[in-house]
Structure 1
């Protein structure tokens, strides 16, 4: 398992739109993926797409970026991410744990929010 590539695909999915996002979902996310964080609990590609659309609408023009290095073992990995204006210090920082399926696709996401400013 190449943890860096999985994280890159994960973040690319959150930053993509339309057909590009659909291709990333099909290639890197299990069809029955579940995503749970303090603000959301969704499943499947449609649920995840709706969640991503909502976040992108709330934070237009912001991008997800990696924070630090990912770590992984036994089909599980953890990493930190940032969300903010491109090229600037992230305004929001989170910590996610991913569980991969037998084909190396993201099957489960458990998310935590480490830094969320008031009003975000």
Structure 2
């Protein structure tokens, strides 16, 4: 019985997934391309996809529908911006179990690996 409890506890620890929250304004071509690059990186890296959940909040009211590996949310009302308060755009916030681990200006897709500390 103890082994079963330990096994369940260990599987919960392994299942804990880090989260990356990205804020962009897709009306800026460089920011739109950055999200496309992040999405492509996630698509081609099953390991990163397994370790990291990525959510993008876009403040552009005219943004186009987006499909991909990451979760894309239009934040034209500014709800996520007011909740997380990024210092600028594009911006990355890394969370682990709802605890904030890192806040940085996002310049390239490779910075995403800072959220899983496997750089």
> Does TM, normalized by the shorter one, top 0.5?
no
Q: Judging by fraction of residues, say which structure has more strand.
A: 1
Greater relative CO, 1 or 2 (CA 8 Å, sep 6+): 2
Structure 1 or 2, whichever has the larger Rg, is 2
User: Normalized against structure 1, the TM-score is what?
Assistant: 0.28
